[in-house]
Structure 1
Amino acid sequence: MALQIGDTAPTFSMVDSDGTLVDLSALKGTKVVLYFYPKDDTPGCTAQACNLNENLDYLSSKGYRVIGVSVDSNAAHTKFKKKYNLNFSLLADTEHELVNKYHVWVEKSMYGKTYMGTARTTFLIDENGIITDIISKVDTKNHSSQIH
């Protein structure tokens, strides 16, 4: 069943591509922008990551910590972060643990073929671990303006 606004965000504890442990339970007291994206270094995902990165000071001033998640490897994340100088955590969900917990691993279609992939979705999580917003229609070039 899909997550709803008001639900408790599913917890996780994973090491990011920089080797830092990211534990949602340990982030209580901090607001979190948890965004799921399909693939490193593709046009939409790059635009989204760069927009969030360019607005990190603004998001931080609102009390947010930004965490990106895709099913790419840590090696791909490291390359992506370095290429675009991204200054936030990227989690490699290669086992599909988080995409399944957050119900964003979905059937997609392109050119008449169906396949499983990540639905570009952002969850805003408050200081108590409660989902306050779910952004499913992401404006990749202006994503930070969708975060309030």
Structure 2
Amino acid sequence: MNVLVFHIGPERYALPLAAVLRVLPAARLKALPGAPDYVAGLLDLHGEPVPVIDLSRLGGSPAETVRYDTRILLVDLPAAGATRRLGLRAERVTGVETLLEAPLDPGVLAAPWLGAVARSAAGGMLQLIEPARLLAPEVAALLFGSEGAAA
């Protein structure tokens, strides 16, 4: 499986490449007052408001300043029978790698959005991110309206 690799603090994480719709440069976001601190804001994507999650903040690290390799990864999420678009602000995006084998464990119970750990063909371990499990139901409802609450 091919994955897109990025960092949260010093650790390497990955999204399945098939889950990534687009990779966008960092952009100015509109603040969302009252949202959890890991919600970076709203991206205006050709007139469509797309909520953006800061993966560093979600992972418990302070948000880094926007760097030349900060990207917004666009993914689709299932929410109440519909597909919703979500942006993921990722720090230090390093590129595409291939996993050597099937993931080694089932993930982290305390953080359901974290998937299994796998070894990369380029060397080292990668923690996979599961986009469909990123948002708690109450956060999905806040970002997408009550009909957007995650199933």
Q: TM-score, normalised by structure 1?
A: 0.28
Q: Which structure shows the bigger proportion of residues in helix conformation? A: 1
Q: Which structure shows the bigger proportion of residues in strand conformation? A: 2
